[in-house]
């Protein structure tokens, strides 16, 4: 578990990142359903991966979840879901990362991502891959990824739809 002061949060509201507990599943579902740029299909997929991560192996081996909450208590304010990329030696996928709208811009996403990197490194991983959409809805998200260390690694035109390309981003995990 790690505790970091959120830059612009009230002093009593430190961000605490900890492993998933089975009891988190319902509150993470509420958090996921509050994310404005997730489509219903994306929400369903994100919830399914949290359920797999909270269950027995092989789901829990394939999908890891870290949860962010504030030291003031209350439900999770953020989470990240990631896992080893099949058939690679040291590449991991960051499947989802989301922060509750009420605490965005205060360092929670960066703190979560740093803990994802720490967990990946501890497991022998060397890089994280993100696949995202080229749609304007995801511009802010792409700026977040860039700020935490991702570089563009590929683009597949019209992958999701005629007006929606697949963007592949890679973050080399820091030592
Ligand atoms: C992307 C997201 C996780 C960022 O979380 P956050 O807690 O607001 O991010 P942080 O406050 O830790 O910001 C980290 C860095 O990213 C930058 N950043 C974050 N949101 C940004 C935005 N909307 N526009 C530009 N830059 C942004 C910050 O300026 C900061 O950079 P700095 O530390 O160098 O100043 C959050 O906005 C979110 O949940 N978005 C909706 C869900 C989503 O799209 N998830 C990703 C796809 S799975």
User: For residue range 29-88, what is the model confidence (pLDDT) as tens digits?
Assistant: 999 999 998 999 999 999 999 999 999 999 999 999 999 999 888 899 999 999 999 999
> Does residue 159 fall inside a structural domain?
no
Radius of gyration of the chain (CA): 16
- pLDDT at residue 56 in the model: 96
Pocket test for ligand 1, best of 28, 49, 104 (most atoms within 8 A of CB): 104
Domain count, the chain: 1
Asked whether residue 10 carries a pLDDT value surpassing 60, the answer given is no
> Does residue 157 fall inside a structural domain?
no
Work out the number of other CB atoms within 10 angstroms of the CB of residue 172: 12
pLDDT over 90 for what percent of the chain? 85
State pTM to two decimals. 0.92
- Residue range of the domain that includes 114: 2-125
> Does residue 170 fall inside a structural domain?
no
Asked whether residue 6 carries a pLDDT value surpassing 60, the answer given is no
> Does residue 163 fall inside a structural domain?
no
For residues 120-146, average pLDDT: 95
90-131 pLDDT, tens digit each: 999 999 999 999 999 999 999 999 999 999 999 999 999 999
- pLDDT at residue 59 in the model: 95
Which H or E run contains 25? helix 25-33
Asked whether residue 148 carries a pLDDT value surpassing 90, the answer given is yes
The rounded Å distance from CA 100 to ligand 1 centre is 11
Indicate the SS3 state at residue 139.
helix
Residue closest via CA to ligand 1's atom 22 equals: 140
> Does residue 76 fall inside a structural domain?
yes
Q: Residue 45 sits in a domain of what CATH number?
A: 3.40.630.30
Residue closest via CA to ligand 1's atom 41 equals: 98
> Does residue 30 fall inside a structural domain?
yes
Residue closest via CA to ligand 1's atom 5 equals: 109
- pLDDT at residue 5 in the model: 53
Question: CA 127, 49, 63, 5 torsion: positive or negative?
Answer: positive
- pLDDT at residue 64 in the model: 98
- The vertex-128 CA angle with 30 and 94, nearest 5°, equals 15
Work out the number of other CB atoms within 10 angstroms of the CB of residue 150: 23
- pLDDT at residue 9 in the model: 43
């Amino acid at each position: 578990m790690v505790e970091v002061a959120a830059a612009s949060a009230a002093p009593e509201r430190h961000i605490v990142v900890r492993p998933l507990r089975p009891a988190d599943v319902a509150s993470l579902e509420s958090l996921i359903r509050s994310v404005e740029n997730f489509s219903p299909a994306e929400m369903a997929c994100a919830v399914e991966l949290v359920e797999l991560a909270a269950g027995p192996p092989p789901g829990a081996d394939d999908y890891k979840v870290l949860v962010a909450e504030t030291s003031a208590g209350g439900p999770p304010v953020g989470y990240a879901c990631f896992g080893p990329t099949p058939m690679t030696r040291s590449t991991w996928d960051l499947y989802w990362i989301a922060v509750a709208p009420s605490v965005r811009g205060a360092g929670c996403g960066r703190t979560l991502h740093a803990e994802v990197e720490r967990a990946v490194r501890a497991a022998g991983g060397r890089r994280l891959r993100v696949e995202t959409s080229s749609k304007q809805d995801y511009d802010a998200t792409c700026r977040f990824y860039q700020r935490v260390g991702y570089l563009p690694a590929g683009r597949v035109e019209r992958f999701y739809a005629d007006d929606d390309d697949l963007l592949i981003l890679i973050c080399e995990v820091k030592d």
